[in-house]
Structure 1
Amino acid sequence: MKPSPIKIALIATTLAFATAGTPNAAGCLKGAVVGGVAGHYAGHHAVVGAVGGCMVGRHLAKQHAQQQAAQRQTAQVQ
């Protein structure tokens, strides 16, 4: 029996929210929306696009937070 796409999407979303902290949740949600839309138009792969978008969004949000922390630290030293 093959799992339905809805079950896969529900599991992926649950895992994304369980592993994403509050600061990274926005990156995940924005990335999932963009990835889902892109996946839909790229051959009806919205679930795969949403999961990939979530991962990319979290990564970019983490990088952005690290850059801001480095800038604050540099500003305090000067």
Structure 2
Amino acid sequence: QGIISPNMASVISAKAEPDRQGELLGINQSMQSLGEIIPPFIAGYLNSLNFNLPLLTAAAVTFVAWLLYMKTVREK
């Protein structure tokens, strides 16, 4: 996150309309915060069901993200 956040903020600032930069940067920060808050609760619940389930779920989500990335790269 330390390397990505400044880069994302600069891309958002560069691409956003000047009157919407603050709004979009705020939304970006809110989504980053939710991304740090929600997963531990989900992982804790999955861990209560099965010790290996959080890791398997993370692997599946990462695989789906990779597939989506590969699909978008090939379309360009």
> Shorter-chain TM-score: which interval?
0.3 to 0.5
- Compute the TM-score of the two structures, normalised by the length of structure 2: 0.42
- Compute the TM-score of the two structures, normalised by the length of structure 1: 0.41
